[in-house]
Every structure is written in C-alpha cells, then in structure tokens.
Amino acid sequence: MNLILTIDIAHPPLPAAEAEAVLDEALRKIQLSSSLRILKIVHGFGSSGRGGSLKTMARNWAFVHRTRFKTLIPGEDLSPYNPVIQELSAECEVAISAVLGASNDGVTILWVR
C-alpha cells in the first residue's frame, strides 16, 4: 500500500497560482484516501542558492493549511536519525529510505492528519 503522494511542481516549473491549485487538489486527494498519509512536494531549490520561488510558495501554502498537517518536514531536515522521521516511519509503517531519509533542499514532506 502506497502512503506517499508525490507532487512535482518544479519539472517543468509551474506558475505559482497553478502550483497552488495542484497542491490543493493533492491535499483533497489525500484527505479522501483511506491509505495516503504523506504529501511529498518536489519544488526544487532554485538557482539563487537560497531557495526558489516555488519552494517559498509551497512552504507558505503549507503554513496557511498547517492545521491539516501533523507536521511539516523541510527537505533539508530529512535524515534517518531525525526523530520526526522515525515517528512518521513507525506510525505510518513506511520504511525509512531515500524518500524520507536523505536530505534534499528541493522537497518538503507534509504528514497529513
């Protein structure tokens, strides 16, 4: 059973309004699903070296919808040693792997309530 829904808004890059609509639909899909519990957003890191506009938009979107998430895990905090990742892995019965265990500034993981 797949518990992770991956949404890629960076390849090709979507305009912010379209990316928000895609994220809204993904959240709706997870909330209606009996199995999906994790939303992995691939937003890219941007060429500035500090994060791109899609990363900022995705994290702002997540903040606006924060009551719908158990937690937000920035990609830079992904590590098999992160206690939140360990809790998510145990509760959702998801193996810690490259999807949840390797640092990646270009993604954000949302654990949906």
The pLDDT of residue 100 is 77
Amino acid in position 79 = S
Average predicted confidence (pLDDT) for the chain: 89
- How far apart CA 96 and CA 103 sit, in angstroms, is 12
pLDDT tens digits, 76-98: 999 999 999 999 888 888 888 75
**What domains sit in the chain, N to C, each tagged with a CATH number?**
4-112 (3.30.1370)
Q: Are the CB atoms for 37 and 71 separated by under 8 Å? A: no
Q: How confident is the model at residue 45 (pLDDT cuts 50, 70, 90)?
A: confident
- How far apart CA 63 and CA 94 sit, in angstroms, is 24
Report DSSP state, residue 112: E
CB atoms under 10 Å from CB of 100, counted, come to 24
